[in-house]
Amino acid sequence: MNSLVAEIVSGGLLLGVLAFAVVRPRGLPEAIVAIPAAALVVGLGAVSPADAWDQTHSLLPVVGFLAAILVLAQLCDDDGLFRAAGDLVARLCGGHPRRLLGGVFGVAAVTTAVLSLDATVVLLTPVIFVTASRVGAHPRPHVYACTHLANSASLLLPVSNLTNLLAFTASGLSFTRFAVLMALPWLAAIAVEYVVLRRFFATDLAAGAHPPKEAESRTVPAFTLAVLGLTLVAFAVTSLVGVEPLWAAFAGTAVLAARALRRRRTTPLALLRAASPLFCLFVLALGIVVEAVVDNGLDSGISRVLPGGESLTTLLAIAGVAALLANLINNLPAILALLPLVAPAGPGPVLAALIGVNLGPNLTYVGSLATLLWRRVLHEHDSAPSLGQFTRLGLLTVPATLIASTVALWGTLQL
């Protein structure tokens, strides 16, 4: 196939796959368009079967990890962990909306870091609606905090975001080294988000609230919390001894799943659904389509604008390009396209690209799939978000968080 035709065809198919993923007509899964598109780019010769297989093979451990984390988050939700967290935040806020916002920030940041951004958007956001209602607070600042932190607080661990898993694999870092390098950027992003959201929603936060009724308090599921903590420790240990953290995720999930099955609180079919197999297939197929786009011109186009080195200005430029690309073609294709270009330069540029694709999506709905899921949750609660308000908030937070986190990364790399 002519290279220009291959570039146009593969680019058109990528946009079509992303548009379908955004709209999802009649709730149809993203994979039913992504899989034929992947087959088409291979069949037309836009990407060779060998390259398509290499891409799929490299993504398989990442997708397996994603499936395990999704099941782990669902089991934690089934055991009442998120409802208990919401209850704790409601009681600690004492009827003060500003304290409630701080509590939501804490829970959302930890949930995103440990159980991935999908858990924050899909499982925690409905709990925050209930929590705000229990104390009579306006839910808007708190549910907006969920979606912003689902992206901004996903910098810390390789398990926090699918983009992190991809970058982690390409960076050559250990699990603990990755966390050490991203700790300050993570804290910087959260601090900037808190300051901006508190001022942006000052009127809502100034409205009154009341303490929750004590009778509504819930017991913290200690066993689930302990398994979750041990799984986190296992992530670090397996990485140190050269074993894929994937096995630690499987082990933690298996313990909670076996307990839930023994108590008849779940079924094998429910566990399979929680793993979102069709979404996992979508990720694999999307990887092949992106490979075709990258091979047929996107790589040379991006490489012309990306500077080399690890200076502060270089890292800021990489983060800015990554953020822009995430808002144009979604953050998952963006990191897939960027990693082959920045990985040879070392972990600094890889992590700068990660900062861009994780923080940039707070600017537009299409920036990340998590934001699209969050918008769907709000529609289900008759609280459809305002495009203007979402965009204004994004314009205030995205540039500030990008700069603060990238500067923090550069500072950490100098130590």
Name which residue leads in pLDDT, 21 or 257.
257
- CB–CB of 186/156 below 8 Å? yes
**Across 109-126, average pLDDT:** 85
- Give the separation between CA 184 and CA 102, rounded to whole angstroms: 19
Query: What pLDDT, on the 0 to 100 scale, is given for residue 320?
Result: 95
Q: Name which residue leads in pLDDT, 223 or 290.
A: 223
Query: Is 377 or 128 the better-scoring residue by pLDDT?
Result: 128
Whether 215 shows a pLDDT value over 60: the answer reads no
Backbone Cα Rg of the chain: 21
| 381, pLDDT greater than 80 | no
Record the tokens describing residue 237, joined without a space.
């240990």
**Cα dihedral sign, 290-281-59-255:** positive
Flag whether pLDDT at 11 surpasses 80. Answer: yes
Highest mean pLDDT among 216-220, 370-374, 396-400: 396-400
The whole-model pTM stands at 0.84
DSSP 285-329: HHHHHHHHHIIIIIHHHHHHHPPPSS-HHHHHHHHHHHHHHHHHH
> What tokens appear for 344 in the block?
């040879």
Across the chain, mean pLDDT equals 88
Are 333 and 164 contacting, i.e. CB atoms less than 8 angstroms apart? no
CA–CA distance, 385 with 403 (Å, rounded to integer): 26
Interaxial angle between packed helices 347-359 and 140-152, expressed in degrees from 0 to 180 and rounded to the nearest 10: 160
Averaged pLDDT, 70-87: 87
Give per-residue pLDDT as tens, 142-199: 999 999 999 999 999 988 888 998 899 888 898 889 999 999 999 999 999 999 999 9
Examine the pLDDT at 59 and tell me if it is beyond 90: no
Average pLDDT (6-22) is 85
- The mean per-residue pLDDT over the stretch 100-106 comes to 93
Residue 403 binned pLDDT confidence (cut-offs 50, 70, 90): very high
**Side-chain half-sphere exposure of 298, counting CA atoms within 13 A:** 29
Q: Which residue has the tokens 């240990």?
A: 237
Instruction: Determine which of 243-257, 272-286, 293-307 has the lowest per-residue pLDDT on average.
Output: 293-307
CB contact at 8 A, 212 and 83: no
More confident residue, 323 or 11: 323
Query: What pLDDT was estimated at residue 100?
Result: 92
User: Average of pLDDT values for 9-26?
Assistant: 84
Residue count (the chain): 415
What backbone torsions phi and psi does residue 159 show, to the nearest 5 degrees?
-85, -5
In the chain, the N- to C-terminal Cα span, in Å, equals 49
State the pLDDT at residue 178.
Answer: 94
Neighbours of 21 (CB within 10 A): 21
Q: How far is CA 163 from CA 160, 335, 338, 353, in A?
A: 9, 6, 11, 10
* SS3 at position 79: coil
Please name the amino acid found at residue 275. A
Among 397, 326, 310, which residue's Cα sits nearest to residue 358?
Answer: 326
**DSSP per-residue string spanning 190-259:** HHHHHHHHHHHTHHHHHS---PPPGGG-----HHHHHHHHHHHHHHHHHHHTT--HHHHHHHHHHHHHHH
What is the rounded distance in angstroms from the CA atom of residue 189 to the CA atom of residue 137?
Answer: 25
